[in-house]
A and B are shown apart, each in its own frame.
Chain A
Amino acid sequence: MAFTFAAFCYMLSLVLCAALIFFAIWHIIAFDELRTDFKNPIDQCNPVHALVLPEYSIHSLFCIMFLCAQEWLTLGLNVPLLFYHFWRYFHCPADSSELAYDPPVVMNADTLSYCQKEAWCKLAFYLLSFFYYLYCMIYTLVSS
C-alpha cells in the first residue's frame, strides 16, 4: 500500500477522464442537434471548437504522465489516439482556429456521420479507459 506517482497519475486521469467523457457526450449531442436541424452550423461549431483543444491537451497530458510513471501498457493503449489527435490537428483547414470542424463542410452528410462516429468511438474509449484507470489505480494502491 503505497501512494506512488503511478497511483497519483491514475487518480488524476480518473478525474480528467470523467471530463473527457463529458466532452464526448457533448460532441455527440452537438452533432445530433446539427443533424436534426436544431442549430446553425456556425453557432454550433464555435463551442465545439472551444472544446477540441482542451480535449487534445488533456489527452496528451495523460500520455506524458504515464510516460513519466513508466506505465507502458497504459501508454501503449493511449498512443494510437494520441497520434490520431495529432493527425487531426495538423490536417485541419487553413487556420488552426478552425480546427477539425469547419462550418461549411460539417453539414456534408459524409463529414457529419464521420464526426458522429468519431464522437461515439471516443466516448466508448474514454468510458473503457475510465474503468481501466479505476482498476489500475486500485491495483497500484493495493499491490505495493
Chain B
Amino acid sequence: MQVPSGYGLHPQSYTAPSGHYSQGPEKMTSLPLDSQCDDYYSGLYRVPTQNVVTPNTASPQPGAQQMYGSVPPAPHVVGSTLGSFQGAGSSASHLHTSASQPYSSFVNHYNSPAMYSDNSSVAAQGFPSTCGHYALSTVSNAAYPSVSYPSLPAGDPYGQQMFTSQNAPTVRPIRDNSFSGQNTAISHPSPLPPPPSQQYHQQQSLSGYSTFAWSASGLPSTQDNLIQNHTSLATANNPTNPVADTLSCSVMQNVQPPKSSPVVSAVLSGASSTRTPAASRPVEPLASVARPSELLQQKGVDSSSTTSSASPMPNSYDALEGGSYPDMLSSSASSPAPDPAPAPAPAPAAPQPSKMAKPFGYGYPALQPGYQNAAAPLNSGVPPGSPAYSGFQQYAQYPGMNQLSSSLGGLSLQSSSQPESLRPVNLTQERNILPMTPVWAPVPNLNLDLKKLNCSPDSFRCTLTNIPQTQALLNKAKLPLGLLLHPFRDLTQLPVITSNTIVRCRSCRTYINPFVSFIDQRRWKCNLCYRVNDVPEEFMYNPLTRSYGEPHKRPEVQNSTVEFIASSDYMLRPPQPAVYLFVLDVSHNAVEAGYLTILCQSLLENLDKLPGDSRTRIGFMTFDSTIHFYNLQEGLSQPQMLIVSDIDDVFLPTPDSLLVNLYESKELIKDLLNALPNMFTNTRETHSALGPALQAAFKLMSPTGGRVSVFQTQLPSLGAGLLQSREDPNQRSSTKVVQHLGPATDFYKKLALDCSGQQTAVDLFLLSSQYSDLASLACMSKYSAGCIYYYPSFHYTHNPSQAEKLQKDLKRYLTRKIGFEAVMRIRCTKGLSMHTFHGNFFVRSTDLLSLANINPDAGFAVQLSIEESLTDTSLVCFQTALLYTSSKGERRIRVHTLCLPVVSALADVYAGADVQASICLLANMAVDRSISSSLSDARDALVNAVVDSLSAYGSTVSNLQHSGLIAPSSLKLFPLYVLALLKQKAFRTGTSTRLDDRVYAMCQIKCQPLVHLMKMIHPNLYRIDRLTDEGAIHVNDRVVPQPPLQKLSAEKLTRDGAFLMDCGSVFYIWIGKSCDSNFIEDVLGYPNFASIPQKMTHLPELDTLSSERARSFITWLRDNRPLNPILHVVKDESPAKTEFFQHLIEDRTEAAFSYYEFLLHIQQQICK
C-alpha cells in the first residue's frame, strides 16, 4: 500500500502512507536493530518495502532477527499476521517463520491478497509492535484480533492466510510495477480496517494484484527483505509499515511530497536506511512479494520456493519502491529529499489518519482505486500537477546532463586538484611528512554529478584515480595499476532492488549503473562495451517516484552500489541452507591450550545469532589420532559420539544425522557444547590426524556446501597431509634466504579445490605454541575462499590477552553476515584487462572468482593492464558483481561500479595516484613474489617501485633542481609506506621472526581489505594524555576527541606522555616513565607509575573527564572495525615494549634503515 502511495499517483495513497508514517516513527526507532533483518527478507521478498521497514524494527538485533524468523513464536506470527494484515505486525519475525513456510507453498498464493491486505490493515496496529520483534508480535497479535485475523486460526489459518497473502504479493509485484501507484492507493483508501480477513482475501483476489495485493505485497516485500523469516514482520510492515514500512512508506510518502525534488533515490535509501540502522546488513527492502514465498519455503522447501518466486518478480518493483523509498529517504543522502528524520516525521503526521483507515476496510476498497491511481501516480511522482509525461521531459533532460558530465569528466577537477596533489615535495627536507589527520582516499577528478554517484572508496578503490590513456604512459609513470575491493563490506545503507528483469548489457552482461548514458528514452549505451541496449518496459517505471518514463531515475541508475534480488536464472541449484561444521582438534596439546572452553562458550552464546534461517544446519567433528563424529539427530536423549579409527580410508558412520537442523536439535547441540570441554580432559593422545578429518568434513559437506571451521593446535602428524617441521629457529633472523614460505604438500590445496567445487569454504583457526607450518595449512583456506586466524602461543590462562582476542574474534566470526556459493565477476571498460587477482578464492575464469563463502571482512586486489589505447573515451568504469546466497536462502547480487577519468598527460597520472591503494597492491604483489621467487627479490622489488616512480617523476614532470628527493604531493608518503612494508613482519629480515608469524602476515596482506591493511602496515600513533575537546566529533551523544597523528618515531615519545598506537588488530598504550601522575590516576586507576601492573588489558571505567575522553576515543576506534582489537598497556621499560617499539618504523633498527636513511638510499639509487 505504501508503496503505491509512494508512487504518489494518488493523493489518497499518500495520506495512507502518512498513516504508516506515524506508526513508522516508532518503528523507526526500532529499525536500527532490524538491520539484521536483511537476512530474513528472503521469505518475504515481495513484501519488501514494508518488510524492509519492519525488518528494521525487528531486526535491531541481527542475530535475534534471524532467530525470530525461525524461532519466533509461531503463534505470534500467526496471530499477528491474522490480526493485522499479515502483519505486518506479526510479521514481525515470528510470523516470518511460519509465514515463510506457507509462502513457499504458495506459489499459487499470490492470488490471495488477503494476507497482504490484512497486513496492511494490521500494519497500523502492528507498527508499534514492530519495534521489538517479539513485542511487535505480541502487539500485532493483539492488533490482529481486532483485524480480520481472528478468522485465521493460529496454525492452520496461517497456512491459508499466508498463502493468500503470499499470493497476493506475488501478484502484486507485477502489478506493482505497472500499478504500484494503485496499490498504494488501495491501501490508503482502504484505511478502514474493518474488512475481515476473509473479505480481504476476496477483495484481494478480486482486485487481483491491484489494491490489496499491492498494498500488502509492497509491504511484504520490504519486510521480506528485512526479515524473510519475519514474514510476520512483513505483515506487520504492511500494515505497520508503520514502523519499518512506515519508514519506507513514510519515506516514500515523504519523498513524494518532496517530489519536486528528485525522489527516485529515496526508495532505495529508505529501505536501506531502515536496514542500515540495524546491523551491517543493509536490509533490502525491495524484495518482491513473490520472493517471500521463497523465503518461507526456505525454511520448508527451498526449491519450490524458487520457482514460485520467479513469478513474483514484478512485485519486486513495488517492493523496491516501497521499501526503497523509505530507506532512501531516511538513510541515504542520495535522495535529496528526506532525511531519515524528516521522512518519519512527515509520514507520521499525515499517515496516521490514513493508517487508521487503511488498516482494513480501506485496503479492499482501495484496491480498485489503486489501479486507477496507478495511472495517476506517475503524475504525482513527477512534479505535482505535471502529467505523467512530465517524467519524460525530465528524462530527456537527463541524458543531456549525462553526456555533458561524461564529456567533462576528465576536465573539471583537474584544474583545481592538480596543484595540490602535484605540488612537488622535497622529501629529504620535509620533516613532518605525515599529516595530522588520517589520510583519505583521493577523489577522482570527475564532475560533481558523477562524483556524487561514484562508488565509496571503502568498497572500491583504484591505485590511480586518473587512468593513463595507454600502457606506454602507464609504463612511463612506473606506478602499479590495480583495484582494491571490499565487496561484501557491512553497509549501513544499501538499495535493494527486486525486479523481474535485471537490466544488463546484452553483449558484455554489465549491470545497468549510474554511468551508462541514455541515448533516448528507450535506449541506453553500455559504459563498458559501448553497445546500445533497449530499455525494457519494466524499467521505464520508476518505483521511487512512481512515475513512468524516467529510467534514469531508477535506483539502479542513481546508486553505484546496489543489491539485486536475483531470480532463478541466477541459480544452478536451489539456494543452499546455511551449513556450519566445526572440526575441532582435541589432542592433548589442544586440551592443554584450553580453547575448547572458549569456543563452546562462544557458540552457546551466539547459537541463536548464527546467520541462517529455519533450514540452518550445524555439525561437529573432533579428532586426535581418530575421528569422532557426533550424532545429534532430533529425538536422541543425548549426543552420540561415533568414533572412526580408520584414518586411511575415512567414511561417514551415519550420513544423515551428523549435520542436523539447528532448531530441531538445539537442546542436543547445547548438551554437546556443554560437555565438549570436559570430554577430553584426560586424553593422552598427542597425534593429530588433520588430513583425514578434513577429508571426512569434505564428504560431510559436499552435498550442500557451507562453512567448515577448523581448529588446529599443532602440526598434523597422522594420515594424509601430515607435515614435518621445516623451520630452522636459527634462521629466524637471517638476512639472506627465508625458505619454506610455500606449501610443503599439495594435499591441502587439492582438498581446498575440491571443497571449492562443492561450495564449501574452510576457515582455519590455528592456535599453536609451536611451529605448525601455516604455509601449508593456509592453503586449505586460500583456495576455498576461507579465512585464517592465527593465535601464536595461545593458552587460556597463561595468555589471557590471546584468549580474549579469540573470544572476541569468535563472536564476530559467528555472527557476521555470510554469503554462500558465491561468485564474483569484475568487468572493466573495453581496453583494460585484469591479469592477476589477490585474495582468498579460486579463479574460475579470466574475470570470475569462485568464492565458496564470502564474509564482510574479505578484501581482494586485482592488477590491471591497458591492452588497447583509451584515446576515444574520457571515462573508464569498473564493475564488480558479487552473486551469493544469503544466509536466508536468497540469491542476491551486489553490484559496485566505479568510474574514473582517463588522462593523457603524465603529470595527471601522478596527480591522481592513490598512495594507500598502491601500497596495498604492491604488498600483495610482493607476497606473490616472495613465494614464487624469494623474499629478497620481493624486498628489492618494493624498493625499486619507489625508486622507479620517483625517478620517473623527477625526470619527466618536475622541473626543479635535483637537490633532493622530489615527489609529487600525492606520493609523498610512498617511501614512508614502503619502508613500513619492509619492516613489516611479512617482509622484514634481520629481525627474529617466526616463520608462522611471517606467513600469517602474508596471508593477512592477501585477504584484508585496504582500511585494515593500512593500519597493519602503518599504525596510527596518538598522544592521549592531553586529550582535549578541540576538534572533537560527536558520535551517538558521545564526544570523541580527535588527537593529531604522531609520526612513528621514538623522538615523539616523551617520557612524560602516554601514547596510543592503533595497529589494527591490537592497541598499545605506552606509558612514559615520568608520565603525569594525574593521567595515571584518572585514566588507569593507579596511584603512580610503579604500581601499574605489567599485564593490563583494560582501561577502568573511572568517572573523570580524562578517563571518559580516553575511553570514548578508544571505543570509537574500536567501533570502526570488525575485529575487536586487544588493548595492551605497555610501561616504559617493561619487557613488552619491544612489541611496541618494533612498530616505530621511522626509527633505525639493527637491521633496517631509518626513514631518513631510506630516503638517502633511494636518492642514491635514483642518481645511479
Binding site for B on A (CB under 8 A): 34-35, 37, 40-42, 93-95, 97-98, 103-104, 107-110, 112
In-complex Cβ contact of B835 among A42, A104, A109 (8 A): A109
- B848 with A37: CB separation less than 8 A: yes
Report B751-784 CB contacts with A as 1/0, cut-off 8 Å: 0010001000000000000000000000000110
Q: In whole angstroms, what is the CA distance A37 to B508 when docked?
A: 13
Q: Which of A93, A98, A109, A112 has the most CB of B within 10 A?
A: A109
In-complex Cβ contact of A94 among B746, B782, B837, B845 (8 A): B746
Q: Which of A93, A97, A98, A108 has the most CB of B within 10 A?
A: A108
Q: Is B956 an interface residue (CB 8 A)?
A: no
- A97 with B783: CB separation less than 8 A: no
Residues of chain A within 8 A (CB-CB) of B1044 are none
Residues of chain A within 8 A (CB-CB) of B1154 are none
Tell me whether A95 and B844 are in contact in the complex, defined as CB-CB below 8 angstroms, given that A42-B753, A104-B783, A109-B833 are known contacts: no
Residues of chain A within 8 A (CB-CB) of B865 are 109
Q: Is B153 an interface residue (CB 8 A)?
A: no
Residues of chain B within 8 A (CB-CB) of A112 are 846
Q: Is B475 an interface residue (CB 8 A)?
A: no
How close is B764's CB to chain A, nearest CB, in angstroms? Answer: 17
Q: In whole angstroms, what is the CA distance A109 to B837 when docked?
A: 9
- A37 with B845: CB separation less than 8 A: yes
Residues of chain A within 8 A (CB-CB) of B742 are 93-94
Tell me whether A107 and B844 are in contact in the complex, defined as CB-CB below 8 angstroms, given that A94-B744, A97-B746 are known contacts: yes
Q: In whole angstroms, what is the CA distance A94 to B782 when docked?
A: 16
- A108 with B844: CB separation less than 8 A: no
Report B715-751 CB contacts with A as 1/0, cut-off 8 Å: 0000000000000000000000000001111100100
How close is B508's CB to chain A, nearest CB, in angstroms? Answer: 13
Q: In whole angstroms, what is the CA distance A108 to B783 when docked?
A: 14
In-complex Cβ contact of A42 among B746, B757, B837, B848 (8 A): B757
Q: Is B836 an interface residue (CB 8 A)?
A: yes
Q: In whole angstroms, what is the CA distance A7 to B757 when docked?
A: 50
Looking across the interface, which residue of chain A has its beta carbon closest to that of B841?
A104
Residues of chain B within 8 A (CB-CB) of A94 are 742-746, 749
How close is B929's CB to chain A, nearest CB, in angstroms? Answer: 13
- Which 3 residue pairs spanning A and B have beta carbons closest together? A109-B835, A107-B843, A95-B746
Residues of chain B within 8 A (CB-CB) of A109 are 833-836, 846, 865
Looking across the interface, which residue of chain A has its beta carbon closest to that of B867?
A109
- B753 with A110: CB separation less than 8 A: no
The 19 listed contacts between A and B (C-beta, < 8 Å) are A34-B845, A40-B844, A41-B842, A42-B753, A42-B757, A93-B746, A94-B742, A94-B745, A95-B746, A97-B746, A103-B753, A103-B842, A104-B749, A104-B783, A104-B843, A107-B844, A108-B836, A109-B836, A112-B846
In-complex Cβ contact of B843 among A35, A98, A108 (8 A): A108
- A98 with B835: CB separation less than 8 A: no
A interface, by DSSP: helix, strand, loop or mixed?
helix
Residues of chain A within 8 A (CB-CB) of B753 are 42, 103-104
How close is A104's CB to chain B, nearest CB, in angstroms? Answer: 5
Looking across the interface, which residue of chain A has its beta carbon closest to that of B756?
A42
How close is A130's CB to chain B, nearest CB, in angstroms? Answer: 32
Residues of chain B within 8 A (CB-CB) of A97 are 746
Q: In whole angstroms, what is the CA distance A48 to B360 when docked?
A: 67
How close is B907's CB to chain A, nearest CB, in angstroms? Answer: 29
Residues of chain A within 8 A (CB-CB) of B835 are 108-110
Residues of chain A within 8 A (CB-CB) of B848 are 37
Residues of chain B within 8 A (CB-CB) of A107 are 843-846
In-complex Cβ contact of B837 among A37, A41, A108 (8 A): A108
How close is A46's CB to chain B, nearest CB, in angstroms? Answer: 11
Looking across the interface, which residue of chain B has its beta carbon closest to that of A109?
B835
- B842 with A104: CB separation less than 8 A: yes
Question: Within residues 844 to 868 of chain B, which ones have a CB less than 8 A from any CB in chain A?
Answer: 844-846, 848, 865
In-complex Cβ contact of A95 among B745, B782, B834, B837 (8 A): B745
Q: In whole angstroms, what is the CA distance A29 to B562 when docked?
A: 38
Residues of chain A within 8 A (CB-CB) of B744 are 94
- B746 with A110: CB separation less than 8 A: no
Residues of chain A within 8 A (CB-CB) of B745 are 94-95
Q: In whole angstroms, what is the CA distance A110 to B867 when docked?
A: 13
Q: In whole angstroms, what is the CA distance A40 to B837 when docked?
A: 17
Residues of chain A within 8 A (CB-CB) of B834 are 109
Q: In whole angstroms, what is the CA distance A65 to B579 when docked?
A: 59
Looking across the interface, which residue of chain A has its beta carbon closest to that of B848?
A37
Question: Within residues 1112 to 1135 of chain B, which ones have a CB less than 8 A from any CB in chain A?
Answer: none
How close is B863's CB to chain A, nearest CB, in angstroms? Answer: 9
Report B617-637 CB contacts with A as 1/0, cut-off 8 Å: 000000000000000000000
How close is A128's CB to chain B, nearest CB, in angstroms? Answer: 30
Q: In whole angstroms, what is the CA distance A103 to B753 when docked?
A: 9
Other than A37-B846, A95-B745, A107-B843, give 4 A-B pairs with Cβ distance below 8 A. A94-B742, A94-B744, A104-B843, A107-B844
How close is B746's CB to chain A, nearest CB, in angstroms? Answer: 4
Looking across the interface, which residue of chain B has its beta carbon closest to that of A37?
B845
Q: In whole angstroms, what is the CA distance A95 to B743 when docked?
A: 10
Q: In whole angstroms, what is the CA distance A23 to B782 when docked?
A: 32
Q: In whole angstroms, what is the CA distance A37 to B833 when docked?
A: 15
Q: In whole angstroms, what is the CA distance A128 to B625 when docked?
A: 58
Q: In whole angstroms, what is the CA distance A52 to B337 when docked?
A: 65
Report B323-361 CB contacts with A as 1/0, cut-off 8 Å: 000000000000000000000000000000000000000
Q: In whole angstroms, what is the CA distance A94 to B776 when docked?
A: 10
How close is B995's CB to chain A, nearest CB, in angstroms? Answer: 17
Looking across the interface, which residue of chain A has its beta carbon closest to that of B742?
A94
Looking across the interface, which residue of chain B has its beta carbon closest to that of A39?
B845
Tell me whether A41 and B757 are in contact in the complex, defined as CB-CB below 8 angstroms, given that A93-B746, A94-B743, A110-B835 are known contacts: no
Q: In whole angstroms, what is the CA distance A112 to B834 when docked?
A: 12
- A41 with B746: CB separation less than 8 A: no
How close is A53's CB to chain B, nearest CB, in angstroms? Answer: 16
Q: In whole angstroms, what is the CA distance A95 to B836 when docked?
A: 23
Q: In whole angstroms, what is the CA distance A108 to B835 when docked?
A: 6
Q: In whole angstroms, what is the CA distance A110 to B929 when docked?
A: 14
Q: In whole angstroms, what is the CA distance A108 to B924 when docked?
A: 14
Q: In whole angstroms, what is the CA distance A45 to B613 when docked?
A: 38
Q: In whole angstroms, what is the CA distance A98 to B846 when docked?
A: 20
Looking across the interface, which residue of chain A has its beta carbon closest to that of B850?
A40
Report B973-986 CB contacts with A as 1/0, cut-off 8 Å: 00000000000000
Q: In whole angstroms, what is the CA distance A93 to B742 when docked?
A: 9
Q: Which of B743, B837, B846 has the most CB of A within 10 A?
A: B846
Residues of chain A within 8 A (CB-CB) of B743 are 94
Residues of chain A within 8 A (CB-CB) of B836 are 108-110
Residues of chain A within 8 A (CB-CB) of B783 are 104
How close is A118's CB to chain B, nearest CB, in angstroms? Answer: 17
Looking across the interface, which residue of chain A has its beta carbon closest to that of B845?
A37
How close is A108's CB to chain B, nearest CB, in angstroms? Answer: 5
Q: Which of B744, B749, B757 has the most CB of A within 10 A?
A: B749
Q: In whole angstroms, what is the CA distance A42 to B835 when docked?
A: 19
Q: In whole angstroms, what is the CA distance A107 to B834 when docked?
A: 11
Looking across the interface, which residue of chain B has its beta carbon closest to that of A93?
B746
Question: Within residues 577 to 620 of chain B, which ones have a CB less than 8 A from any CB in chain A?
Answer: none
How close is B777's CB to chain A, nearest CB, in angstroms? Answer: 14
How close is A142's CB to chain B, nearest CB, in angstroms? Answer: 51
Q: In whole angstroms, what is the CA distance A98 to B744 when docked?
A: 13
Q: In whole angstroms, what is the CA distance A33 to B745 when docked?
A: 29
Q: In whole angstroms, what is the CA distance A35 to B846 when docked?
A: 6
Question: Within residues 467 to 502 of chain B, which ones have a CB less than 8 A from any CB in chain A?
Answer: none
Report B434-472 CB contacts with A as 1/0, cut-off 8 Å: 000000000000000000000000000000000000000
Residues of chain B within 8 A (CB-CB) of A93 are 742, 746
Q: In whole angstroms, what is the CA distance A107 to B843 when docked?
A: 6
How close is A97's CB to chain B, nearest CB, in angstroms? Answer: 7
Q: Which of B834, B837, B843, B865 has the most CB of A within 10 A?
A: B843
How close is A101's CB to chain B, nearest CB, in angstroms? Answer: 13
Q: In whole angstroms, what is the CA distance A28 to B833 when docked?
A: 21
Question: Within residues 652 to 683 of chain B, which ones have a CB less than 8 A from any CB in chain A?
Answer: none
How close is B724's CB to chain A, nearest CB, in angstroms? Answer: 14
- A98 with B757: CB separation less than 8 A: no
